[in-house]
Structure 1
């Protein structure tokens, strides 16, 4: 309890500093928490829109990249390539095929399979793997293979071309048993009867890469045009998508196999000449992929999962980049990425609050010290007054309340000084008349009023003028020496009621104050204060005059009432023996 009392009696600057710091902490912390939660709420509500927009961007990019593949194949079906019978006639379409491959970087090759077993293909030498497989010259941009099925022995005629379609050396002839009519892409096109089809992933015969092929047959000529899309091109495509650094983006086929993954290129589980098996989500050896492996079921959905202490937002969306082909896009994004802005705002908000607090501490200390020092001076001022030392002076501090209190204490100091000085000096006068005259003169000066009158009780019926002072006028000409108490006046009412009264001078009976009110041009206020003896009985009245709109008398009322108790005792008139009955009334109390 004593410790608490001591704590409560700490200096004011400590109280204000503590309060200011608490306010900064409470307000800053509340604003920081509120801003963080509001930002989190806004971002959470917008995260669905963000994911949807991200998915749309990926889907549109995917559509932009792969949908034209079908258009390219369909366009080539309308050219003379489907009826070309030899190498030279087929090479005449090379500029068109090269332009198609250049405009569609997703394509690795365009080929034609004829009903008689002939085969014609144009490949892009776009990486070192392709150059190594075909032992292509450094300048080679395209490799052209042509197979005439009917020729004996069956051979591949191969030519390399640079980017300007200029042949690089003579043709090469390589033995082969390749028959396009026995390949899956050819058979699928025949089954499609003129509709475009997309194969399942398989191992390309010549380049030993895994990919898919869009294929379509010209029903009139029975020639099949196909475009190859390798899986590494799919992977490169999604790896270029603009998503958050920690997001996972995958493309799945209708068997839930992973065709492309933005975090891995090793997607082949096993591959043989006739069959290729790709990894599924569970085969990726990633805990998050295993967690969501049961979700892909061919339907679109939005979901969330908890993984390693964070919430992941996910979306599954069906993609149809090529007619008759259905892929599924899987997008997984951690909520931390979505709320990165909220975390940044919280961190910066905390830093700002800490900076404000660090700034607030010294500033609050200085300000409270500035407040406390004038209060300390005020306390010392009060102690000096307590010791009856009235010579203290102060200067304005700029703090209104402190300065007002200083002024009040200064006035109180002067009032005490004036009161004690007046009492000390008035006792020095030998008779009542001299004392009353001195009191009236000093009181007019101290109170700064326009005049002072002192009337003492002569008997039970009359008040007698003891003294009066009005600067610039002779009081004997304007003041009545005796005022009958039976006349209705402010002086008689104050005397008889023993209470201080106030009223306008104009309302007074001329018999009471003589011609005094005619001397003042402006309306005057009269304040009547009864004088008391030692026993508390009224023995006279002290009256002060001031302009009606001036508050000087009212402000000095307490001073005059405090003085009245002393004056009644000091100014008791000398009484004769025949006035014993009046004296008994005056002293009876």
Structure 2
């Protein structure tokens, strides 16, 4: 006669053992995942100091790249014969030198020279659409020369729109707008210095863009200058961002922002329609406003919970030409900095769950096989 199947109670130890085994595997996998995440987070946070330091060096290096080549070009221009000329006809043959400086240094907004008698000659590129519109330039014009001539107490202002090869497309006599190079900050500072100078950020006369000027006085008193917009400095910061939401800004000791990834937020209109730069507690960010409450002259690395996120913040003094008291602030959300650790943690947890789900039907099927009656 066939034997009776084993009692159901005899199978319970197997089910209990299987359940304990699965639970142990799941807990072990979870604990290993959390341990791995914790260790990886510690490593990433400990190396973030090195990352921030490397970023600081990269920003300073990029700033030197922006400033050094045009600085060398100005030194050479100041030693040339252009400073000795008196008429536009004598000055036009020197424009290829200006054009070469602009070609070699695309970060520049313009190159120019101002004379002690108030004469002035500038060359600027017109590749940007806003410059084309601002000066109502002919479509085929690539460059614009701006010349101011003082003769016998009378001033004449001329715009020369040129091709890339410096062929004159249109010469346009303009109304006198009162521009006098001798009253501009770059001219005044250069006249007082033997070495080349760099100005604090200010609003350019013709474009109302904010920027800084490199200037060098020639032996006869003429001053050569080159403009660099704050937009170029901000572009440099944008390219150095560590994570998508990280914030980088360069500011002076009084909190005035010199470079920020959103250039449109840097300036605002004050009284009498004068433009001025903002301090970083005025950029529309509660994060930066909260940081400003501690003061601007800070050199530190801290973690703060702001705007619902933990932020790793480093403020460090850097060297920027023309501004002695300059700081770089780097703000990085911790969750983005630890994104790889979060990803590995999630993958490990899901892997543990997947193993549990795969083993569960296997053990269930094995239990079913053990319950089959033995007909031997």
TM-score (norm 2): 0.89
1:124 is aligned to 2:125: yes
Alignment of 1:281 with 2:280, yes or no, is yes
Alignment of structure 1 residues 151-170 onto 2, 5 Å: 151=152, 153-169=154-170
Contact 2:63 2:233 in 1 (8 A): no
Aligned equivalents of 1:301, 1:142: Cα separation in 2: 46
Measure the CA separation in 2 of the matches of 1:187 and 1:353.
71
Matches within 5 A, 1:257-276: 257-270=256-269, 276=275
2: distance between equivalents of 1:181 and 1:216?
14
Q: Which residue of 1 aligns with 2:199?
A: 199
Query: Shift of residue 28 of structure 1?
Result: 0.9
The aligned runs of 1:99-248 (5 Å cut-off) are 99-151=100-152, 153-169=154-170, 171-176=171-176, 177-192=178-193, 194-218=194-218, 220-248=219-247
In structure 2, the CA distance between the partners of 1:281 and 1:126, relative to structure 1 (3 Å rule), is same
Change beyond 3 A, Cα 1:336–1:249: same
Instruction: State the 1:257 CA deviation.
Output: 0.7
1:421-468: CA deviations, max 9, x gaps? xxxxxxxxxxxxxxxxxxxxxxxxxxxxxxxxxxxxxxxxxxxxxxxx
Tell me how far 1:99 sits from its aligned partner.
Answer: 1.7
Residues in 1 aligned to 2:271 and 2:123: alpha-carbon distance in whole angstroms: 24
Give the Cα–Cα distance (whole angstroms) in 2 for the partners of residues 270 and 92 of structure 1: 40
After superposition, the Cα gap between the structure-2 partners of 1:98 and 1:318, relative to the gap in structure 1 and judged at 3 Å, is farther
SS at match of 1:67: helix
Q: Do the aligned partners of residues 273 and 205 (structure 1) sit closer, same or farther apart at CA in structure 2, a change above 3 Å counting?
A: farther
User: Per the alignment, do residues 325 and 209 of structure 1 end up closer, same or farther by CA in structure 2, a change over 3 Å counting?
Assistant: same
Report how far residue 356 of structure 1 moved: 0.5
TM superposition shift of 1:328: 2.1
Q: Specify the SS of the correspondent of 2:167.
A: coil
Query: Which residue in the other structure is 1:345 paired with?
Result: 344
Aligned to 2:55, the other structure's residue is in SS state helix
Tell me the CA shift for residue 373 of structure 1.
Answer: 4.4
Higher relative CO (Cα under 8 Å, sequence separation at least 6) belongs to 2
Q: How does 1:469-488 map to 2 (within 5 A)?
A: none
Aligned partners of 2:191 and 2:217 also within 8 Å: yes
User: Using a 3 Å threshold, how does the CA distance of structure 1 residues 196 and 53 change in structure 2: closer, same or farther?
Assistant: same
Q: Do the aligned residues in 1 keep the contact of 2:63 with 2:320 (CA within 8 Å)?
A: yes
2:249 maps to 1:250 = yes
Report if the CA contact (8 A) 1:111-1:227 is conserved: yes
1:302 lines up with 2:310 in the alignment: no
Unaligned runs of 5+ in 1: 1-6, 378-392, 395-589
CA contact under 8 A between 1:154 and 1:175: conserved in structure 2?
Answer: no
Over 3 Å counting, the alpha-carbon distance change for 1:317 and 1:102 in structure 2 is: farther
Secondary structure in 2 matching 1:195: coil
8 Å contact kept, 1:197–1:324: no
Shifted more, 247-256 versus 109-118: the winner is 247-256
Structure 1 residue 29 displacement after superposition = 1.1
Cα separation, 1, equivalents of 2:213 and 2:33:
56
CA distance in 1 between counterparts of 2:253 and 2:94 reads 35
Is the alpha carbon distance of 1:369 and 1:54 closer, same or farther for their aligned partners in structure 2, counting shifts above 3 Å? farther
Are residues 1:291 and 2:290 paired? Answer: yes
Quote the offset at 1:355 in angstroms: 0.5
Question: The residue matched to 2:195 in structure 1 has which SS?
Answer: coil
In structure 2, runs of 5+ residues without a counterpart are: 1-7
State whether residues 82 and 223 of structure 1, in contact with CA within 8 Å, keep that contact through their aligned partners in structure 2. yes
Shift of 1:326: 5.1
The answer as to whether partners of 2:200 and 2:322 remain within 8 angstroms in 1 is no
2-structure distance, mates of 1:187, 1:310:
47
Q: Distance in 1 between matches of 2:41 and 2:311?
A: 15
Distance 2:323 2:264 in 1: 26
- Rounded Cα–Cα distance in structure 2 between residues aligned with 1:79 and 1:334: 52
Gap change, CA 1:339 and 1:15, over 3 Å in 2: same
Q: How does 1:306-317 map to 2 (within 5 A)?
A: 306-317=305-316
Change beyond 3 A, Cα 1:239–1:332 = same
Match of 1:79 in 2: 80
SS of structure 2 residue aligned to 1:246: coil
Secondary structure of residue in 1 paired with 2:264: coil
Structure-1 residue corresponding to 2:36: 35
Contact 1:198 1:325 in 2 (8 A): no
Measured after TM superposition, the shift of residue 308 of structure 1 is 3.1
Counterpart of 1:356 in structure 2 is: 355
Mark the CA change 1:210 to 1:287 in structure 2 (over 3 Å): closer, same or farther.
same
2:5 counterpart residue number: none
Which stretch of structure 1 is more off in the superposition, 183-192 or 72-81? 72-81
Structure index of larger Rg: 1
1:235/1:265 contact within 8 Å kept: no
The alignment of Structure 1 onto Structure 2 pairs a total of residues equal to 368
* 1:320–1:196 distance in 2 versus 1, CA, 3 Å: farther
For residues 540-555 of structure 1, the aligned pairs below 5 Å read: none
